[in-house]
Amino acid sequence: MSSNILTKRISDARAKGRLGLIPFLPAGYPDKARFWTEIDQLDEAGADIIEIGMPFSDPVADGPVVEHASLKCLDAGVNLAWLLSELAARKGRYKAGLVLMGYLNPVLQYGLARFALDAASAGVHGVILADVPFEESGSIHAAFDPQGLVLIPLVGLNTTPERMALYAKGGRGFAYFVSVLGTTGVQAGFDTGLPETIRAGLEKAKAAFDIPVALGFGLKHPSQLAALDGLVDAAVFGSALIRHIDAGGDSRGFMQVWK
């Protein structure tokens, strides 16, 4: 199994008898100053990994909550140069593992090799690129791997065992399992029990990967976590956190409820 810090953070949570907690917040949300206050609170309140969104104008995997938040950040002038510079100034400040999530276009515009170097230098441990399939990941691994930067595999309900095996080969960090065939934060979720389609998909993922498996895209409240125990190692929540902040809450209060 990978000894990557992301793997370790989730494994440590599992050793304590709970799922790893991975909150997501778009960079610069709800504004550039308060964003860092929210990140500090997530870390202090026990987030195992913090996922930071790289705002993009065409976020094809994001539902309306995350898309609206990301567009607001873009309007405020948030970009990769700002994010990586601010992270570099805070390097060593966070106990949580740090992951950037987004799309390939901004990374290519920044420069793939430059991005890998600057992200790793800023203390980022992993990256999720939602629109990069396995077949197009070779050049990204070539840039990321020498910097110790992990490209996190993204699989889902319609990923075959054979294809999962491709992603699992040499996998590090954790695998991200998408629980819906759609965008983030809009489905009804699984309030009354885990649907068999998700259960079957998670069983395939757990069989394929020897790194932790995290589930995202369908979590709205903490009561859902009980249905996942034994099937996944970590839970990702983004739209729920954004809604909480929009309603006047803060990340510390949110984490206290989920933990």
pLDDT tens digit at each of 259 positions of the chain: 445 899 999 999 999 999 999 999 999 999 999 999 999 999 999 999 999 999 888 766 666 777 788 888 888 899 999 999 999 999 999 999 999 999 999 999 999 999 999 999 999 999 999 999 999 999 999 999 999 999 999 999 999 999 999 999 978 999 999 987 544 444 545 555 688 889 999 999 999 999 999 998 878 888 888 888 889 999 999 889 999 999 999 999 999 998 8
Nearest-5° Cα angle at 194, 153 to 217 = 40
Cβ atoms < 10 Å from Cβ of 221: 12
E strands along 37-173, which residues? 49-53, 97-102, 126-129, 150-151, 154-156
**pLDDT attached to residue 59:** 67
The neighbouring-strand residues paired with 50 are 98
**DSSP secondary structure letters along 184-198:** TT-S---TTS--HHH
Give how far the C-alpha of residue 95 lies from the chain's centroid of Cα atoms, to the nearest Å.
Answer: 16
CA distance 132 to 135: 8
**Ramachandran angles phi, psi of 92, nearest 5°:** 90, 0
Which residues participate in catalysis according to the annotation?
51, 62
The amino acid that residue 19 corresponds to is: L
| pLDDT at 226 (0 to 100) | 86
